């Protein structure tokens, strides 16, 4: 049985904080880092999006684009913007692109 990550340790200077995965709205790839978007806060984690995604419960977090993953509960709406393109509208008001490659992962 796989144990999924419940908290992420984020280093801030000389201290480490723990971010509950249930509080993360969305993840964004940023070079060799992943931005953890938690409400209005953004935390940087030195890893790749693929590596972090592999540690997260796929029933909770889904990849929607090569640069983005979302917590399913944070998605309020999936909006068609024409020509087979979609945007995920999150409860916090953010719009993220959904690529055709990952479109089927959203229920």
pLDDT of residue 104: 87
pLDDT of residue 107: 77
Burial label for 44, CB within 10 Å (0-12, 13-18, 19+), is: middle
3-state secondary structure of 50: helix
Q: Average the pLDDT over each of 37-41, 76-80, 81-85 and give the range with the smallest value.
A: 81-85
Mean pLDDT of the 49-69 span? 97
Per CATH, domain 7-105 is 3.40.50.2000: no
pLDDT bucket at 29, cuts 50 / 70 / 90: very high
Q: Where exactly are the structural domains of the chain? A: 7-105
Say what the pTM is.
0.92
Answer yes or no: is pLDDT of 20 > 90.
Answer: yes
Residue located via tokens 């393109």: 85
Q: Integer distance in angstroms from the first to the last C-alpha of the chain?
A: 24
């Amino acid at each position: 049985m796989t144990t999924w990550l419940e908290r992420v340790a984020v280093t801030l200077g000389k201290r480490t904080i723990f971010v509950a995965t249930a509080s993360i709205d969305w993840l964004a790839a940023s070079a060799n880092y992943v931005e953890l978007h938690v409400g209005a806060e953004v935390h940087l984690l030195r890893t790749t999006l693929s590596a972090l995604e592999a540690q997260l419960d796929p029933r909770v977090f889904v990849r929607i684009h090569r640069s983005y993953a979302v917590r399913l509960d944070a998605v309020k709406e999936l909006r068609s913007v024409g020509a087979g393109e979609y945007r995920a509208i999150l409860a916090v008001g953010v719009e993220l692109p959904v690529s055709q490659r990952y479109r089927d992962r959203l229920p």
